[in-house]
Every structure is written in C-alpha cells, then in structure tokens.
Structure 1
Amino acid sequence: MHDVQVVRDDHSVLIATHTGVWTLGDPFQDDPGPVERVGTGRQDTMGMTLAVDGTVYASGHPAPGEQPELEKPNLGLIRSTDGAATWDPVSLTGEVDFHALSTASTGDGTVRVVGLDSGTSTVLVSDDSGETWSRGATVEARDLHLLDADPDTVVATTPTGLQLSRDGGRSFAPDRGAPALVLVDDERGGALIGIDARGVVWTGTPGTESWDNHGTAPEGVQAMTYVPDDSPGNQPWILVATETGLFTSRDLGASWDAALGADRG
C-alpha cells in the first residue's frame, strides 16, 4: 500500500496500491464491508492525495500493457472527480512519476499541488490544480505535505530529518527542533502529526521545538493519514497502513484497532 486517504463525508478509505485504488467502508462500523477495487483502473498508483473538494489526485505507472506509446511509463498527474472510479490525465503524462503529492487551497480559492518527482527528487509546484508547473527545490524526501492553514509552508521528511519550506517548496531548510519524521500530515491550526522511523507518533508545530511524543504505531507503517473528525460524539483519529493491514487510533497511538487484516476481530 503506497498511500491511504479518508473520504470525509462517509469515512470510507481509499487505498493506493500497485494494482489500482481500492476502497474499504468506514473502519469504525461493525462491518465495513469487503475491500473492493474502485472502477476498473489497475495502474500502479505510487502517489495519491485527496483535495478538500473531494478531488483525488494521483500518479504512478500504467498497468502492464497499457499506454505503450508513452516515452516513459509514467502517468504524470491524473485526476478523479468520482472517488477514483475514473481518471483523467492532467499534465506531465509520460514524463513524471510523483511518489508524494499534497494539495491545499490558496487564498484566492485555487488549488495548489506539490509533488515529488521520483526521477529527479525535485519538488514541482502547481497553482492551477496541476495544469502547469514550476520547479522547486531538490530534496531527498519520503513524504511531502502542504499545510492547510498556510499553503506556502511545505514540510518534507528526509533521511536527515524534517525539512521546512516557507516559500511553497522553492527552497528548504532543516527544521532542527522537529523529530525525524518519516510520514507527516496536518493536525489542525498549523500543527502537524507524524510518525518517526521507530513508529512513535508525534504532534507539534513546524519551525519550533514544541513537539510531544505519544503512542507507537504497529510495526511496518507504510502510509498514514489523520482525520480531524469533529462530529458529535467522535474524536479525531489516525489511520495507518502496514505490511499486514490497516489500523486506526483515536488516542494518538496509545492503542490501535485493526480495520483490515488478520488482526480484525
């Protein structure tokens, strides 16, 4: 599993894999239903992100035998407005394979997209929903994230620690007060939540030394997302994907429940 996203309306889960995008119902339901492929696409979905308006952006490689005309077997940026059932090419087809993608709404209502070109480790930035791009910094990142509260701020997780950009990904500097996160997401109000290489869950504010460690995620985390669920009677929660399944936590990693896999009761 390369990425996981949660649809805010119904808490269904979108799972990016080597064989397309799959879905699971609300993991907090007694029976979330089976895991099913969304649509007929079997593309190798290496990167995926869900915009606030419900648009899904993704990248990766065509399914075996598909689109042989491409100069490189790279999808560029593709977009879905029906929950990943169907996809339309947006830009950079046959050129770029994004392994990390993130979106945020800018002050004028447009959608900013940042992506990490896996071939060059270059951050690419678009201010028109991925139609056109400008080149940003080169950074050896595992994960990229645009802050919802400030789309000029981009955080990148790297082998040497968290890197911070205040100019929309055009330059980065070490965030020396932050833990060495591997995966990162928005918490709320400009704060971050992330997981380090040992699986420890952290929350804090980028650019400061104000960070707190919490619980520990299941072994082998490959992807994570944070859901700020403020509906009555509910709490925010974390969803992680591991080599063996999906797991949820409502207490910042102090305890985990299996949503998918052998451990689900």
Structure 2
Amino acid sequence: MTKRHAAATATALTLALTVAACSSGGDGADSSATSATTVSHIHGLGLDPSDQRLYVATHEGVYTPGADGDPQLVGDSKDDFMGFTVAGDKTFYASGHPTSGGNKGLIKSTDAGRTWTSLSLSGESDFHALEHAHGTVYGYDATNALLRTTKDGTTWKDGAKLEALDIAVSPNNPRLVLATTAEGVARSNDGGRTFTKGKQPVLAFLSWKAKDALYGIDTEGALNRSSDDGATWTKVSTVPGGQPQALTAIGADHVLAATQDGVYESKDGGRTFTKRLAVESSGGH
C-alpha cells in the first residue's frame, strides 16, 4: 500500500466510523432503559475515581446520570468534546470545538467537568484521542495528524505523523503506545516518536488499563482482548447497540463501551454487557 493510499484509507475509515456512528438506529437495546437524551455523537467515556460516577463526552457537552438515571448536562457548556480522558479524582482533560467554531486545544477540569480551563494550543489543535498515563498526557492531534505528549499541559513534544483514529498507552511502559489505523494496530516503542506499520486486526478504538487486559473494538462492535501487548487478539463478545463510538477500560475486567443507543458496562471482562445510560445518536458530527 502506498503512503498516499494508506493515508486516504485511514481517512476513509475515520469518516465511515463517524458517519455510521452518528446515524440514527442501533440494535440490542436494553428494555430496562426506556428514556434517552438524543445527542449527535459520543466521543469519550470515563468514571470519576472519587465516586465512580459515569461521565459521557458528546458532541453537545458532557453528560452524567441524574437522580432519575437520565442523562444530565454537566455544567453549562454544550461544546463539542472530541477527546476526553479522566486523569484522577474530579480531574479531566479534553479537547474539541467551541459552539462558535475553531479548536479548543487542550483543556482541563478539576471539578468533574463543571468548569474548564484552557491550557494550551487553543485555536491550533483538535485532539480526537487523549490518554493520561505515567504523569503524561498523550494526544492524537487530528488537525495536524500528529501524536503529541505533554507533562505540564503547556509544553508539548511532537511525535510521529500518522493517520489514526484512537490511541492507547501501556499501563506498565510509558514508551509503548498503540494507534488504530486503516491497516491495523500500529505500535510505537519510543513514546510515540515513531510507529510501525499497522497490523491486523483493524480496530476502531482501544483502551488499556491493566497490563494483561488490552481491549479493542472493531467497526461492527466486536470486542477483542489481548494479554500480550497486542501481539495476538481474542474476540470476547459483540457489544449491543450498533456501531461503536467510544471504549474505556476501567480495570482488567471492567469495561465501558458507547454505541448508537447508549453506554454499556461489563464487569466480567467484556463477556456480558448491561446498559448503563441511554443516549441516542441522531445525525450530525
């Protein structure tokens, strides 16, 4: 595959996922969750370690379950939160687009998403994937097709140029970074400065919380698990609800996945899922 073809294919994969995930519909809906807030697209998931509350980053703000279990907007921002990661108790990093347009760069919240502070790259970068590990923020800057890292949120190190959709960082090795590409999972052994060519399987999203529990989900919702740093993969199950939109591992056997009709949770390594929050996708990006 030529470099130009690879880039075009990666872009096509990204667009296909975005369009499919943002369309209405879905299957496998849990009848126990009958009400839903409609949003265009879910971009990120996380649990606050302080209280295990679920947070869902979407095209129209960050949501959390309210007193009645229905999605409730956190704070008053309805900006598009593209990249999103929980770094600690009530501490989140995010990126995306203001409702007025442009790029947010890297932003941070220390009150569980109620308010946000701009840290760096405002107007310059849109991180579609963010991970916090080893005291470092790893970000995939979709504006510049670039892997970047920062320890203080303001000073960045630029890594490899690549067309990717998601990234994951080894919980045991800060130099081992994986990225999903159109060719498969690409690997970096130098903290994201260089990546190998992607290898099968082709996955949409990755999440890596425990050394022997790397999770990946493909475009059809098939959840895969690797216990050898991504060298081999085993299909565990298919997440209900249609096209995948986000994936977050909380622990070795605790996984959150967003599909077209809501957020699903597994506490048995992905073998079974229950709906945690009903959030319907309906058009837009």
TM-score, normalization by structure 2: 0.77
- Match of residue 215 from structure 2: 193
Instruction: Write the distance in 2 (CA, Å) between the matches of 1:259 and 1:124.
Output: 32
Q: Provide the alpha-carbon RMSD of the alignment.
A: 2.2
Conserved 8 A contact 2:211-2:227: no
- Match of residue 261 from structure 1: 278
Instruction: Write the distance in 1 (CA, Å) between the matches of 2:275 and 2:229.
Output: 34
Pairwise CA distance, 1:208? 5.7
**Which of residues 1, 17, 21 is equivalent to 2:62?**
21
Find the residue that maps to 1:113 and give its secondary structure: strand
Find the residue that maps to 1:150 and give its secondary structure: coil
- Match of residue 97 from structure 2: 61
- Match of residue 136 from structure 2: 112
- Match of residue 173 from structure 1: 196
Structure 1 residue 11 corresponds to structure 2 residue 52: yes
Instruction: Write the distance in 2 (CA, Å) between the matches of 1:254 and 1:189.
Output: 19
One-letter code aligned to 1:36? Q
Conserved 8 A contact 2:50-2:89: no
Instruction: Write the distance in 1 (CA, Å) between the matches of 2:154 and 2:228.
Output: 29
Higher relative contact order (CA 8 A, sep 6+): 2
Instruction: Write the distance in 1 (CA, Å) between the matches of 2:163 and 2:236.
Output: 27
In structure 2, relative to structure 1, the CA distance for the partners of 1:90 and 1:251 (3 Å cut) is same
**Structure 1, unaligned stretches of length 5 or more?**
26-30, 65-71, 106-110, 230-235
Instruction: Write the distance in 1 (CA, Å) between the matches of 2:231 and 2:157.
Output: 31
Structure 1 residue 73 corresponds to structure 2 residue 102: yes
Conserved 8 A contact 1:240-1:246: yes
Conserved 8 A contact 2:105-2:126: yes
Pairwise CA distance, 1:2? 0.9
Conserved 8 A contact 1:76-1:98: yes
1:190-246 deviation digits (Å, cap 9, x = unpaired): 5411112232221114556343221111221100111228xxxxxx32211111111
Conserved 8 A contact 1:187-1:203: no
Find the residue that maps to 1:174 and give its secondary structure: coil
Structure with greater proportional helix content: 2
Pairwise CA distance, 1:53? 5.0
In structure 2, relative to structure 1, the CA distance for the partners of 1:20 and 1:208 (3 Å cut) is closer
Structure 1 residue 138 corresponds to structure 2 residue 179: no
| Percent identity for Structure 1 against Structure 2 | 38
Find the residue that maps to 2:185 and give its secondary structure: strand
Conserved 8 A contact 1:43-1:60: yes
Q: How does 1:85-164 map to 2 (within 5 A)?
A: 85-105=114-134, 111-128=135-152, 130-164=153-187
Query: How many matched pairs?
Result: 238
- Match of residue 36 from structure 1: 72
Conserved 8 A contact 1:78-1:89: yes
Pairwise CA distance, 1:61? 1.0
In structure 2, relative to structure 1, the CA distance for the partners of 1:54 and 1:170 (3 Å cut) is farther
Pairwise CA distance, 1:102? 0.8
Instruction: Write the distance in 2 (CA, Å) between the matches of 1:224 and 1:15.
Output: 11
Conserved 8 A contact 1:44-1:63: yes
One-letter code aligned to 1:194? G
- Match of residue 258 from structure 2: 241
Instruction: Write the distance in 1 (CA, Å) between the matches of 2:249 and 2:110.
Output: 22
1:151-184 deviation digits (Å, cap 9, x = unpaired): 11111011110011111111001364x6322111
In structure 2, relative to structure 1, the CA distance for the partners of 1:190 and 1:166 (3 Å cut) is farther
In structure 2, relative to structure 1, the CA distance for the partners of 1:174 and 1:54 (3 Å cut) is farther
**Structure 2, unaligned stretches of length 5 or more?**
1-41, 281-285
One-letter code aligned to 1:251? D
